[in-house]
Structure 1
Amino acid sequence: MHLISKIILRAAAAVLLSGSLAGQSVAQEGKPAKELFGGMKLPSRSDAQSFGFYSKGCMAGGVAIPTDGPTWQAMRLSRNRRWGNPQMIALIEQFSRDAVEKAGWPGLLLGDISQPRGGPMLTGHASHQIGLDADIWLTPMPQRKLSYREREDTSAISMLAKNKFLTVDPSIWTPQHARLIMLAASYPQVERVFVNPAIKKKLCDTWTGDRSALGKVRPIYGHDYHFHIRIKCPADAVGCKAQAPVPEGDGCDKSLAWWFTDEPWAKPKPDPNKKPVKPRPVVLSDLPKACAVVLAEPARPEEEATFGTDAVAFSSEQPPSAPVQSIEAIIGDEPAALANVPVPLPRPMR
């Protein structure tokens, strides 16, 4: 009888949870997804997972990189975009150390990574939604700790010449910039490094080291003030959609030459017979169904995260204070074993 009672209680709890999620989904469906995810201040208290694609998804169990480390400083703290999949955060910390030791770079200034639960952002990026993207400024870190206001107001420096089309400014660009970008591309878990076409051309023309990772460096609009690191879906990720592999070769070919023609920069010609249609905002139902659960999950306790200039990272090894049903169980997927990756541990407050 005791066993039957337990089964009944579990079934009732599952029904209540499903009903709660359904009610929340109905209430949230009319709101743009960027408002729902942009309003989250803390990550979900669950195992780390990236759901969906880089530009259409969300993140569970995100961790934050500290605002300051021995070889990095985070910028634009008010945006609250220092969160990522533990593998992304671990890579950034490793990259920052290697940049100093191997590339002669003073330290990294970190741009946007992701929101606490990923998802579409209120402003800016189309990607950065699943915790596997990170922006790194092309401005070197100063040898002093920047104030909060400096992190908000300081502008990154463009690598482009002001009076020449798609040309790197030789008075700003240095061999250290080249070594930094090529170092970022060298990690096996890095899938792409996005840069301005002029920067890609500069690397094609001048890089004399190992060129095996040069094909990962991809030209894209903008990205003359910073470069963008994208890592692969974690090996055991549930529901993470991989991007197609980069083409073979170093990318110093016709695909790069196209950027130096008129076509990429020509304004699209409007169709006089076509009525303008206002774009529909992305809503929660457009995202993977796990994202509704990510939004509904409890946040990590306040004591595990301090926002502002004394922010700390999390350790996923710390157990939650109360049991939380896994996302996989709720959406009916089989639980996936998490990859054994280093996770940043809490830093003492200073």
Structure 2
Amino acid sequence: MRRLFPFALMLLAACGAGGPSMQLDATQSRSEARQYFGAETRASGGPGEAIGFYSNGCVAGSQQLAETGPTWQAMRLSRNRNWGHPELIDYVQNLSAQVARNTSWAGLYVGDLSQPRGGPMLTGHASHQVGLDADIWMYPPERLNLSEQERETLSSISVRAERGASVNGNWTADHAEVLRLAATDPRVARIFVTTGVKVWLCENVTGDRSWLSHIRPANGHHYHFHVRLQCPSGDRNCQNQPLPQGDGCQEAYDRAERIRNPPPPSPPNNTPPPESPPSGMRVSLGNMPNQCLGLLSGFE
């Protein structure tokens, strides 16, 4: 039988078209939002809308990426994270078709998108909250008929060498082409990759290099690359992440140098850092956009 979280009952009673009109009490405000969004198993109704920021928000009217399509398979189905804004679902499907046409890959193995209503996840991600983030495996698919069990146990491959400063023998020209195809869609804000991938692209890409500005070096991201879309037009409650100026190559070179030759450790600082509200995966209900509270059904 379906059950509502107690505070969600109060929210639903108080919500109008503009979202919740009540104030959370102190206990509710401090509660970790991931406990509630992680319990949602289906999307909300209405049109797709990204609400808030990538690491503090939610998504209304999300769609579920089909578990298997002509040129993709969703991985780790037990997580129920193959949901996203309709723009993201369309992007993944289109990208996988382009990859299948233009590379030796059969398509894409797709990792985490978002939860059915977005929001912070119980494990694994600080972002992926507004339905506009997607993890794409570095593993080149040879077949797209993996069983559900295979999708739980198969591991991706790492393309990292030198602790991330360069790429290893798993990296191929097709990986570079997949990233070019991913980055040249005008909906893309940025794509996170391990530093060595960005360095390789900066050193080897010829011709049109304008898309390199969307490829940003980040810690991790060597088993997958992380696509982030811009806020869709009309989603007025969505907050974009501005792209830095330039192609980002010097930043990548500097990061690689620091990986190879780490600077000496800073002297100890015994001054405690100033307190700040929890963010990312541990954001509290009281620090989330009000519209997100109105999306919580509490059904489990």
Alignment TM-score, normalising by the size of structure 1: 0.73
Find the residue that maps to 1:179 and give its secondary structure.
Answer: helix
Question: How far does the alpha carbon of each residue in 1:196-220 deviate from its partner, in whole angstroms, 9 at most, with x for none?
Answer: 1100001111122421111111111
* Alignment: residue pair count: 282
Match of 2:126 in 1: 126
Find the residue that maps to 1:210 and give its secondary structure.
Answer: coil
Distance 1:55 1:268, change over 3 A: farther
Distance 1:121 1:265, change over 3 A: farther
Q: Is the 8 A contact 1:197 1:220 kept in 2?
A: yes
Higher Cα Rg, which structure: 1
Query: Quick check: 1:38 aligned with 2:35?
Result: no
Query: Quick check: 1:237 aligned with 2:235?
Result: yes
**Within 5 A, what are the aligned runs for 1:328-347?**
none
Query: Quick check: 1:261 aligned with 2:260?
Result: no
Question: How far does the alpha carbon of each residue in 1:56-91 deviate from its partner, in whole angstroms, 9 at most, with x for none?
Answer: 111111100000001000111111110100001001
Match of 2:165 in 1: 166
Q: Which has the higher strand share?
A: 2
Match of 2:198 in 1: 200
**Within 5 A, what are the aligned runs for 1:65-84?**
65-84=65-84
Q: Is the 8 A contact 1:44 1:298 kept in 2?
A: no
- Aligned-residue identity in percent: 42
Distance 1:205 1:296, change over 3 A: same
Q: How many Å apart are 1:295 and its aligned residue?
A: 0.8
CA distance in structure 2 between the aligned counterparts of 1:186 and 1:223, rounded to whole angstroms: 19
Alignment TM-score, normalising by the size of structure 2: 0.85
Match of 1:147 in 2: 147
Distance 1:97 1:18, change over 3 A: closer
Distance 1:265 1:89, change over 3 A: farther
CA distance in structure 1 between the aligned counterparts of 2:146 and 2:191, rounded to whole angstroms: 26
CA distance in structure 2 between the aligned counterparts of 1:24 and 1:140, rounded to whole angstroms: 49
Distance 1:16 1:154, change over 3 A: closer
* RMSD after superposition: 2.9
Distance 1:107 1:46, change over 3 A: same
CA distance in structure 1 between the aligned counterparts of 2:84 and 2:196, rounded to whole angstroms: 29
Distance 1:279 1:23, change over 3 A: closer
Unaligned runs of 5+ in 1: 1-14, 300-350
Q: Which has the higher contact order (CA 8 A, sep 6+)?
A: 2
CA distance in structure 1 between the aligned counterparts of 2:153 and 2:193, rounded to whole angstroms: 23
Match of 1:138 in 2: 138
Match of 2:4 in 1: none
Among 212, 217, 225, the residue aligned to 2:215: 217
Find the residue that maps to 2:191 and give its secondary structure.
Answer: strand
CA distance in structure 1 between the aligned counterparts of 2:204 and 2:226, rounded to whole angstroms: 21
